[in-house]
Structure 1
Amino acid sequence: MTPDITSVSSQQPLPAALRPVVSGVDTLKLLTSLEGLLNVGDSATGQVLSSKAGGVGQPFQVVLALTTASGEQATVVASSKQALPQGTQVTLTQLPSGTLGIVVQQSKSTALAPLTQLDTRQLPVGTLVQGKVLSSEAVPQGGSYRSLVALLNTPLAGSTLALDSPGPLRVGSLLSAQVQGAGNLSFVPLSGRLEQLAVHQQLQSQQSRQGSLEGLLAALQTLGDSSEVADDLRTSANRLLGSLPDIRQLTDARGVAQALNASGLFLEAQLLTPQAGALPDDLKSSLLRLVAQILPNLPGSAPFNPAEAAKALANALPGYVRSALGTLGQVGEKPATNSFPLPSRLLGGLDGDNDLQQLLRLASAAVSRLQSHQLSSLEQSGMSEDGKILTTWQLEIPMRNQQDIVPLQVRVQREDEPQQQQQHPPQPTAEQRAPLWRVELAFDLDPLGPLQIQAQLLRGSLSGQLWAEWPQTARLIDSQLDSLRQRLLAQGLEVTELHCNQGTPPQGPRTHLEQRWVDETA
């Protein structure tokens, strides 16, 4: 695909000669010899490599890859009265007249005439479609190019779409485009797709290295009793532990906002506007400082220099940390990306000698866990297949519950309607454009056990479900739902659904965040 292509029009129907073959049997005139490959009456299977128009009233020139019954392969050129889209599977038989009898092996993508208009009820404006280019030919005296594209996603997957574009589309290439209307598409820049691929690959790498925060926090709580730990390291550990919010602080909006801001999710954004060259004071920056202070205490390490530490951490993790992360990456299977909540992964605590390398490994794994949340946020943000704009924030907050430290995993997602809308029906009102908010929480709180909460809010209407793994907890919560409903109503919310279930939320090809329990717009 040429980089200057910005839109594709499918308003003009293709001439009949350019439509995929729908007749079952035809003949091809050979332009290259098959002597020694096929005898009269012999058959072979083939695949169309290319099909080029010879001009008005002229036959098409077709290049075929043949495979005989004995396994021999050859490339032949023939002329055809009809177009054969690239990739079409055929069966060929050598005829006495020097021609080939051809039977098209019909498939969903070739048995039907190509689409020249899109049904916006199936593919609303803003929907992202992906396809593979089957053929692309210049339109005589038209100054444009006509292509056939096999759709790979959406409910129309398997169909063939006929496109007119100002530039050629490379045969065999994959393309992504956004629906602008029944007869128009707008290509998505390739760089954006590559960025998503890079995020996905980095997320897989980080998730294989990550470890649960509670492993590191438990190890840090034991440092205060050791006389072999440097004072600056012990001070940093105590400072990190002291910054963790108490569970009571998360019972009001201000406390929640402070905890979200200090989670480390926004560290890189805050670094874009640094204050006096100092790192922001949040969970991730505290972990990075801890890593930088562990390193000088390892054998053969240089003394700790605070001024150089921030610079080094901004560029790359030191060799010791890369080694620690590499070791973690070899342990266990890689978890699936986009999973929520991230599973617990304890890497063991310190031994009797306060093994600093193990502490470094725990701190590095904790950094990777926070980065897994950050990358998951990026991967789940963007344009959904139904054209909605999704923005996702996924993070983890260690909170104090009496003597315990309980990690609280949070995922917040905002869904907005695209700005570009069809002229018919009329433009939606401001109320209709109100964003849909989804919130998920996951934590393991003694004595209730593992809990997950899902809620969504649209124009003041709230629906939610709670999931408790322990049966006694599910019964307890179910008995308190009426009280919870009354408290939500007192806050001015309309509660449409509120349930408690035993077990865990279902997982499938589509995450539960992408599904609505109640369709308030129906």
Structure 2
Amino acid sequence: MKVNGGPVPGNQPVTPSTTPPAAAGKGPVTLPGGKESVPVDPALSARQQLVQLQLANRETALARVAEILQQKGGGHELLLELRGRTLNVNIGNRPPEFSAGDLIKVMRAGNELQLMGKLAASQESTVARALAQRLPWQQSLPTGLQQLVSSLNNGVRPMVQPGQPPSANPPQPLPAAARQALESVLASLPKSNELAPGVGRTESTASQVRQWLSESGLFAESRLLQSSPKASAPNDLKLALARIASALLASQGQTSAHFNRLTPSSSPELMQAPLQYPQTATAPPTPQASTAEPASTGQVLRLLAGMLNRITVNQLHSQTLTTRAGGEAGAPVNTLLVDLPWLTPQQEPRAAQLRMEQYESNEENSGARSGRTSVSEWRLSLSMDLDEAGPLHFEVGFRYPDVSARVWAEKQTTLRQVNEELPLLRKSLTDLGLEVTDLECRRGAPKQAQTRLEHRLVDTKA
């Protein structure tokens, strides 16, 4: 017998452990993805622990292997995440047939648990696992771009060979391929002084915004599938960063295998709340001093790895939210999370965080075209931090022909200035044939929900 394509390990019984490791039972356990589960009280008997899990006799449930623990006598324990709690179970001296992250089906049989088999990974669990692996290793795009600009101007130090002092390798210019890719990206980034009030009504500006979204890196793999690598857009941010890394590796005689072994550099603000999107705007990156020591090739490669992880996290996060929508009423059917880098008049990199969601609803038709029609509603959230205006947050809702917009400003002077510009925004929207239902500016920042990583599987064979 097989369960979802996975072998059944003989309905092996396991007993809840009453001698857990020292770390267990002292509070919430943080699991991959940042989710916390409360441990079952290890002082209780096996029967009491199962009762605390609200697991009836002969009832089945899904559990996730959070960790595999080895005992002093050679035995093994599984730390299972089950119904929002963690439970230690003994599996004896036999080698564990599972690995951390596996999803398994368990059944209560008296005061024991029977492991019914490992479930095949679903698309959502695979994406969630990949997302959790990259969350701690994200590099902020504006900070990373600023350091790349510094390397463009000051060069990079080659890798130091064993036995050589650092002074033996003076800075060298970026390889030609890396310099060309970086200069192309910087030339294509939006400039803040190019978007004056009212220019959004022109078709050329709308086309430019579509191009910025297309080249954000979010669609890099899709672009490669649709065309040959030579025909791919040279300004796609993710592909351009990969080309810079390849050029640096080639200049040092290294392959992509070396790049995969590097520990990516990460930004502290992205580790504190990695799934909050858009994030509460943080202070712009501090400009590096012109006398700063040029970065080494290894440091630049680690920086590039972290920036690529940031874009990949946005891709996986978007996919996770879109995949979940099918099982939740009122959830968006499509979600896109994008970091959009741009340049200040002083050519300093910044980034805006864009969240776009599509909702579907059915409406009754009257007259000759009777029936139900699917109607789309779009919601857009935009967050950025400007040098003088400070943090700004925009929320726009659109369901033709109705449109609404709210702006949040954290500075009082910015709040006053935005209120002065609202009549121009209302007129611009009205000129486009839209009906403005709500338009206002508030002080502070909007409340934001945070994604949780979790596995939602339905066992259709149960």
Range of TM-score over shorter length? 0.5 to 0.7
Q: Of residues 219, 224, 245 in structure 2, which corresponds to 1:266?
A: 219
Alpha carbons of 1:349 and 1:367: their partners in 2 closer, same or farther (altered >3 Å)?
Answer: farther
> Deviations 1:262-298 (Å, cap 9, x if unpaired)?
1111111111122265544211100000111122344
* Partner residue, 1:438: 379
Tell me how many residue pairs correspond in the alignment: 322
Alpha carbons of 1:446 and 1:244: their partners in 2 closer, same or farther (altered >3 Å)?
Answer: same
Contact persistence 2:359–2:377 (CA under 8 A): yes
Alpha carbons of 1:205 and 1:467: their partners in 2 closer, same or farther (altered >3 Å)?
Answer: farther
Q: How much is the aligned-residue C-alpha RMSD, in angstroms?
A: 4.1
Contact persistence 2:136–2:274 (CA under 8 A): no
Q: Of residues 347, 351, 354 in structure 2, which corresponds to 1:407?
A: 351
Normalised by the length of structure 2, the TM-score is 0.60
* Partner residue, 2:337: 394
Contact persistence 1:211–1:346 (CA under 8 A): no
Normalised by the length of structure 1, the TM-score is 0.53
* Partner residue, 2:275: 337
Residue 211 of structure 1 pairs with residue 139 of structure 2:
yes
* Partner residue, 2:262: 323
Instruction: Note the C-alpha offset of 1:237.
Output: 2.5
Alpha carbons of 1:439 and 1:172: their partners in 2 closer, same or farther (altered >3 Å)?
Answer: farther
Measure, in 2, the Cα distance between the counterparts of 1:436 and 1:392. 12
Alpha carbons of 1:343 and 1:238: their partners in 2 closer, same or farther (altered >3 Å)?
Answer: same
Instruction: Note the C-alpha offset of 1:259.
Output: 0.8
Instruction: Note the C-alpha offset of 1:207.
Output: 2.4
Contact persistence 1:389–1:417 (CA under 8 A): no
Alpha carbons of 1:242 and 1:132: their partners in 2 closer, same or farther (altered >3 Å)?
Answer: same
> Deviations 1:411-438 (Å, cap 9, x if unpaired)?
111112489x9xxxx98533xx210101
Contact persistence 1:383–1:390 (CA under 8 A): yes
Identity of aligned residues (%): 25
Task: Classify the secondary structure of the residue corresponding to 1:457.
Answer: strand
Measure, in 2, the Cα distance between the counterparts of 1:508 and 1:285. 31
Q: Which residues of structure 1 form unaligned runs of 5+?
A: 5-68, 75-85, 90-130, 134-151, 154-169, 174-189, 303-311, 512-522
Residue range with higher mean Cα deviation, 451-460 or 230-239: 230-239
Q: Of residues 306, 312, 318 in structure 2, which corresponds to 1:371?
A: 312
Q: Of residues 157, 171, 186 in structure 2, which corresponds to 1:241?
A: 186
Task: Classify the secondary structure of the residue corresponding to 2:226.
Answer: coil
Q: Of residues 437, 444, 458 in structure 2, which corresponds to 1:503?
A: 444
Measure, in 2, the Cα distance between the counterparts of 1:71 and 1:374. 45
Q: Which has the larger radius of gyration?
A: 1
Which residues of 2 match residues 87-486 of structure 1 at below 5 A? 87-88=55-56, 172=107, 194-222=122-150, 223-226=152-155, 228-232=172-176, 233-247=178-192, 248=194, 251=200, 252-275=205-228, 277=230, 279-281=232-234, 282-298=236-252, 301-302=253-254, 318-325=257-264, 328=266, 333=271, 335-341=273-279, 351-381=292-322, 382-383=325-326, 385-386=328-329, 390-403=333-346, 404-417=348-361, 429-430=372-373, 433-486=374-427
Measure, in 1, the Cα distance between the counterparts of 2:371 and 2:293. 66
Contact persistence 1:456–1:464 (CA under 8 A): yes
Instruction: Note the C-alpha offset of 1:454.
Output: 0.7
Measure, in 2, the Cα distance between the counterparts of 1:412 and 1:211. 22
2:132 maps to amino acid: Q
Alpha carbons of 1:292 and 1:204: their partners in 2 closer, same or farther (altered >3 Å)?
Answer: same
- Relative contact order, CA 8 A, sep 6+: which one is greater? 2
